[in-house]
């Protein structure tokens, strides 16, 4: 059963890939093109409270994310932000970072904080159709 944080980020419609302990979701508000949310499927609200095996599984999940995003947008850096101030369950905002802009479906996505911290307030909200198309494009790149 999905936790509240997964639902906040649009699960199941935004689901890119489900692993045993983690779900990769398209972030409905794109800080940079290809922004994802990596959410624990458990009810843990602290990183140290994750179930056995969740941290080990990150060793498989992180490379899969990075390969898929590198193929999709050719990022220069990638940030994993664990903020958990509003949404309580363990999750990371996965933000591909790049200088310049990336174009997708007639939209231009600048990395407003480059080369410093990401500008979370500059996110572009996608409509449900755009979310689905972005999800499908990124999901197709997962091995």
Closest CA to 134 of 5, 59, 37: 37
Query: What pLDDT digit, counting tens, does each position of 89-121 carry?
Result: 999 999 999 999 999 999 999 999 999 999 999
Query: What pLDDT digit, counting tens, does each position of 38-95 carry?
Result: 999 999 999 999 999 999 999 999 999 999 999 999 999 999 999 999 999 999 999 9
What is the overall mean pLDDT for the chain?
97
Confidence of residue 1 (pLDDT cuts 50, 70, 90): confident
CATH of the domain at 70: 3.30.428.10
For 93, the domain range is 4-139
Q: What percent of the chain has a predicted confidence (pLDDT) above 70?
A: 100
Q: How many domains does the chain have?
A: 1
Question: Please, are residues 76 and 21 in contact by the beta-carbon 8 Å criterion?
Answer: no
* pTM of structure: 0.97
Does residue 143 surpass a pLDDT of 80? Answer: no
Alpha carbon dihedral 123, 124, 125, 127, in 10-degree steps, equals -160
């Amino acid at each position: 059963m999905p936790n509240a944080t997964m639902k906040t980020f649009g699960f199941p419609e935004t689901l890119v890939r489900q692993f045993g302990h983690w779900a990769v979701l398209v972030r409905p508000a794109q800080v940079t093109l290809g922004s994802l949310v990596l959410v624990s499927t458990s009810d843990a609200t602290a990183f140290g409270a994750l179930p056995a095996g969740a941290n080990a599984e990150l060793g498989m999940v992180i490379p899969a994310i990075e390969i898929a995003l590198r193929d999709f947008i050719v990022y220069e850096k990638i940030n994993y932000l664990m903020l958990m101030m509003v949404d309580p369950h363990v999750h990371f905002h996965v933000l591909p970072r790049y200088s310049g802009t990336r174009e997708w479906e007639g939209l231009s996505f600048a990395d407003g904080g480059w080369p410093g911290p990401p500008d979370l307030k500059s996110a572009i909200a996608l409509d449900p159709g755009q979310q689905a198309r972005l999800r499908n494009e990124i999901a197709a790149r997962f091995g």
